[in-house]
Amino acid sequence: MQRTNRQWVLNSRPKGTLSADNFALKEAPMPEPDYAAGRVLVKNLWIGYDAAMRGWMSLKPSYMPPVELGDPMRSFNVAQVVKSKNPELPEGTLLLGMYGWQEYAAVAATDMVPYRKLNRFITPEMALGVLGGSSTTAFWGLMDIGQPKKGETVVVSGAAGATGSVAAQIAKLKGCKVIGIAGGED
Ligand SMILES: NC(=O)c1ccc[n+]([C@@H]2O[C@H](COP(=O)([O-])OP(=O)(O)OC[C@H]3O[C@@H](n4cnc5c(N)ncnc54)[C@H](OP(=O)(O)O)[C@@H]3O)[C@@H](O)[C@H]2O)c1
């Protein structure tokens, strides 16, 4: 097992569009989870990139605290348990969670965003994509708040994006006429 944990940390808060110097590569000590307390060590295999991440880099009040300067950039990840004494999370288990831009992370059931286990029907791409945060936002936003009914017209802004494209498909499945607003020629 290696002794350092490479991380891409938030180095400065972007103004407008991101630039490479908003991030810095850092070598941190390996996480040392409290195995006796059920915590486990995971290795990140996949990193998700979501529009919401731009918001987490700013100090604007939000549904989540901002990423601190010097901390690994926050992200959804698919990670694999590589060291564990927790029978609920044996080594090899794939988890969806928020483990950031780093190689390894310590995971606890009490994390701000609790982990979800992947099963054999859910690939990492599905967990970070169509079953991930953007799509669940589209699902709950439309179904819970919008409550679409057959025959209604649903207008979706940002319809070419991860969230909008799923909202549009759900509205179609509910029998609505869907008008998508998109900027690009395609
Ligand atoms: N609160 C939550 O839990 C939550 C979860 C998911 C997403 N969101 C929010 O939902 C929004 C969309 O997220 P996403 O993941 O779908 O992003 P995305 O995949 O990057 O899609 C964004 C879409 O917005 C359009 N767009 C970009 N800049 C624009 C501009 N200046 N004016 C008009 N349209 C523009 C683009 O459309 P064209 O390609 O047509 O130009 C792009 O396809 C973001 O604001 C995100 O933060 C919130």
Which tens digit of pLDDT belongs to each residue from 141-175? 999 999 999 999 999 999 999 999 999 999 999 99
Average pLDDT of the segment spanning 51-55: 93
Average pLDDT of the segment spanning 28-56: 96
Query: The dihedral of CA 151, 152, 153, 158: what is its sign?
Result: negative
Q: Please tell me if the CB atom of residue 50 comes closer than 6 angstroms to any atom of ligand 1.
A: yes
Average pLDDT of the segment spanning 45-74: 95
Task: Give the model's confidence band at 185: pLDDT under 50 very low, under 70 low, under 90 confident, else very high.
Answer: confident
Contacts of residue 121, defined as CB under 8 A and 6 or more positions apart, other chains included, come to none
Average pLDDT of the segment spanning 78-107: 97
Residue nearest to atom 22 of ligand 1 (CA): 161
Q: Do 38 and 86 meet the contact criterion of CB atoms below 8 Å apart? A: yes
Cα(6) to centroid(ligand 1), Å: 30
Tell me the β-bridge partners of 95.
79, 117
Segment (H or E) for 131 = none
Cα(19) to centroid(ligand 1), Å: 19
Buried b (16+ CB within 10 A) or exposed e, 11-44: beeeeeeeeeebbeebeeeebebeeeebbbbbbb
Amino acid at 99: Y
Q: Which atom from ligand 1 is nearest to the alpha carbon of 163? A: 16
pLDDT at 186: 75
How many CA atoms lie less than 13 Å away from 25 in the CB half-sphere?
Answer: 3
* pLDDT tens per residue across span 129-140: 999 889 999 999
Strands 116-117 and 94-98, how do they pair?
A: antiparallel
Task: Give the model's confidence band at 1: pLDDT under 50 very low, under 70 low, under 90 confident, else very high.
Answer: low
Mutate which of 131, 139, 163 for ligand 1? The one with the most ligand atoms within 8 Å of its CB, which is: 163
Residue nearest to atom 21 of ligand 1 (CA): 161
Task: Give the model's confidence band at 102: pLDDT under 50 very low, under 70 low, under 90 confident, else very high.
Answer: very high
Q: Is the pLDDT of residue 46 over 80?
A: yes
Cα(103) to centroid(ligand 1), Å: 28
Average pLDDT of the segment spanning 1-10: 91
Q: Please tell me if the CB atom of residue 53 comes closer than 6 angstroms to any atom of ligand 1.
A: no
The model's pTM: 0.87
107: left (phi over 0), alpha (psi -120 to 50) or beta: beta
In the chain, pLDDT over 70 holds for what percent of residues? 99
